[in-house]
Amino acid sequence: MVNNKNNLIELFEKREKLEGTRIYRMILGLADSQYIVNQNYQELYQTISEYEKNGLILMAVENRQKFESAL
């Protein structure tokens, strides 16, 4: 039992040192970055679209808070 545990630990350590593991972790990081960039794009696109539709309304004094939020 102890020998199997040691073998598993040894295999895990070997896997962590592999070039493929390093590349895989980089790809996961890129996927996270891509998700964040896409979310930022969607939020910016929605804000710009809203501003284009209601720009003059947002500039009204009574809507100052909404205007500042859009900015």
Tens digits of per-residue pLDDT, 8-20? 999 999 999 999 9
pLDDT value at residue 49: 85
Per residue in 16-71, pLDDT (tens digit) is 999 999 999 999 989 999 999 999 999 999 888 877 777 666 666 677 777 777 66
Radius of gyration of the chain (CA): 25
**pTM score of the predicted model:** 0.52
pLDDT value at residue 34: 95
pLDDT value at residue 41: 96
Domain ranges of the chain: 2-70
Residue 29: HSE in the Cβ half-sphere, 13 Å Cα cutoff? 6
CA separation for the pair 60, 52 (Å, rounded) = 14
